[in-house]
Amino acid sequence: MTYYKKWIAVSICMAILLIGGILLVNRTAEMGSLDSYTNLSMDEQIQSIAYDETSGRLYAGSYQNRITALDSDGTLLWSFPTGNVVTDLVLGSDGVLYAASDDQYVYRIDARSGELLQAIDIRQRVFDIAVDEDHGLIAVSAGINETKHYVMLYTLAGEKLWSINTHSTARAIAFSDDAQQLYAGTNRADLIRYSVDGEELGRTRLRAAVKGIAVQAGGDAVAVATEYGSLYLLDTHGEITFSRMYELHDNIIGFGADDTLDRIALGGRLGELYILDDRGEVLFSDDRKAGISAFDFTDTQLAVGSLGEPVRLIPLDTFMISRFIGRAGGVLKLLIAVLACGFTISLLRSFQRSRDVVKNGTVLLIKHRTAYLLLLPTFVMLIIFMYYPMIIAFVRAFTDWNIRSEEIHFIGFANFRRMVTEGYFLLGLKNLFTIAVADMLKVLTVPLIVAELVFALRSAKARYWFRFMFVLPMVVPMIVTVLMWKNIYDPSIGLLNQLLETMDLEHLQRVWLGDPKTALGAVIAMNFPFIDGFAFLVFYGGLINIPTQLFEAAKVDGAGRFWNLTRIHLPLLTPQIKLLIILKFIGSIQNFMPIYILTGGGPGVKTYVPGLELYYHATTFGNYGYACALGMAMFVFILIGTFFNMRMRTQSQS
């Protein structure tokens, strides 16, 4: 037993180190704060932003109905009043600033002087604009209310080409790279694709209202941000190629990306800031007091606008560094795991043997080479096929390891969150609980009764033959037993329904495994009358080893059979009972084969168990990281069960 205690200490040590290491890596990858960057103070709540890197000028549109231009040292250059909130700013290449406002106008302004060049009357609140100077087009998304909303195309001169009602507010609009398509994202969670002639090409249904769209220059990827923090990547045909949710406590209010979509920025209403790379990995994150509402990427810098803080300029190199840390994280994790192993082993060894061992290590290694050489095959096998997969399972449970992508990314506890949010695991756990309780009852009752029956037989020969016969069904392979029971439950030629028919009980006939009401019951009732040969042998062995003097004494006291059972047998069989409890517990969690064969988890999810979930994710779905996390969860359950079982035993002994 001392081995167990030591082992538990070791495993706890390793687990703490491992989790500590993982958290550490997680933190370093997400470190960073806006505070350390250039700030351009502005007493306004910024809604949109444009930054001109060559001149160092910053243009910001605000809730205070103003467009403001600042010099690189923060001095005010000019200010342009609008009739309402400035919703979008686009800086053209020829020094023209395009501005959209809730005051129903799109403005063209000279960026140097702040002089109004042209005001285009849209006659509706303008939510977003997109400008394509090469083709001389402005796309406008504007509306009156939730059901009257239009996507419109204008020439740069302000001439309206066409207009289409989207029947839902579209907060985001963008041109494809070749300006042949127009994307509009609506509050009804549709990403609609229009041709440049105003024809609807298709829709992609996303999971929440669209907040922002960005298009890759020279490629065909489209990035879409939706309410509550999801990012999608789509191709020009509207197929979703990537989606991921980021932790936001409220809506997304700011969204931006660079031309190549290598950097994507998300800003939350409560001040969350995420900078992502082209694969959606978090490069940089910060948590501010005020909402992050606007972004503008230039070649080397990112301007961040906020609802209550100064505008910040962050050099893009910053993200390269944190990306490197993120990449190094993988190596670091492995290192930490190795260190943790080494540390615990050396700790143990330092207790047992002195430092001489290390000093004379090589000498001893040679001296005892026979022992080590003889152990070599065992350990080579164990390291390759047991320890290595074990470490991989522990580490990769925290990654998005899957069949689709070449690279593996660290995703923290997302797999474990998925378990409790997705539902299948919890549903499976509920079914598993029912099955495990039933298993426990089955293994502790019938085999004990059978053992008592055989034990009560007086003739030694009868005892032998009954024991033999009760054990015999065990030689039937498990898979054959399960398949036979599947046959017994068969609706047409199954024994059960045939039996009911001959007994004139046709109304009780069921599709036992296909009926949601009976499926779980049928799975549990498999193997009736539940004579588990192994449990029977364990109980019978326990009964034989009870000293006969005890019964003699009981007989003198005039004890009956029942008294014998409750006062002598059961107390003396506690070790057997505890052994069977823990073995059955582990078995119930691990052995999903009968359910896989009988119902495959169905009908619906009526007989679904976590083991099946793991199997499907490890094979059909190819979500290896998630499968590892499921395995880890089941391992933890088994560990907890074993721990309580051991405690029970020691208590009863003391």
Partner 1 sequence: MNKRHISSAARQSLTITISIILLILAFVPVLLMLVLSLKTNAQIYGNFWSLPDPVAWDNYGRSFGRLYINMVNTIFVVSAATLMSVALAATSGYVFAKLEFPGKETLFLMILSLMMIPAILTLTPRFKLMETLNLLNTRWVLILNWAAAGQVFGILLCRTFMNEQPNSLFESSRIDGATELQALYLIAVPLARPILTTIGVMNMINFYNDFIWPLIAIDSNLKQVISVAIRSFEASTGTIEIGTMMSGYAFATLPLVLLFMLGSRFYIEGLTAGAIKS
Minimal distance in Å, beta carbon 459 to partner 1? 9
DSSP string, 397-419: TTB---SS-SS--B-TTHHHHHH
Minimal distance in Å, beta carbon 479 to partner 1? 5
CB–CB of 245/411 below 8 Å? no
Q: Which is nearer to partner 1, 234 or 628 (CB)?
A: 628
Say what the alpha-carbon torsion angle 173, 176, 181, 186 is, to the nearest 10 degrees.
-30
Encoding tokens for residue 583? 């073995």
Minimal distance in Å, beta carbon 387 to partner 1? 8
Q: Which is nearer to partner 1, 237 or 368 (CB)?
A: 368
Phi, psi of 359 (to 5 degrees): -60, -50
Q: Which is nearer to partner 1, 117 or 382 (CB)?
A: 382
CB–CB of 551/541 below 8 Å? no
Which DSSP state fits 62? E
Q: Which is nearer to partner 1, 546 or 618 (CB)?
A: 618
Encoding tokens for residue 604? 């619906």
Minimal distance in Å, beta carbon 374 to partner 1? 5
Q: Which is nearer to partner 1, 300 or 619 (CB)?
A: 619
Cα separation, 512 vs 496, whole angstroms = 9
Minimal distance in Å, beta carbon 480 to partner 1? 5
Minimal distance in Å, beta carbon 402 to partner 1? 11
SS3 261: coil
Residue among 165, 164, 258, 243 nearest 210 (CA): 243
Which DSSP state fits 144? S
Ranges of beta strands (E only) in 239-363 are 240-245, 252-257, 263-268, 272-277, 282-287, 292-297, 301-306, 311-315
CB–CB of 630/617 below 8 Å? yes
> Measured between alpha carbons, how far apart are the two ends of the chain, in Å?
14
Counting Cα atoms < 13 Å in the Cβ hemisphere of 622 gives 5
Minimal distance in Å, beta carbon 535 to partner 1? 10
Minimal distance in Å, beta carbon 363 to partner 1? 10
Q: Which is nearer to partner 1, 79 or 445 (CB)?
A: 445
Residue among 274, 270, 311 nearest 290 (CA): 270
Q: Which is nearer to partner 1, 56 or 600 (CB)?
A: 600
Q: Which is nearer to partner 1, 189 or 593 (CB)?
A: 593
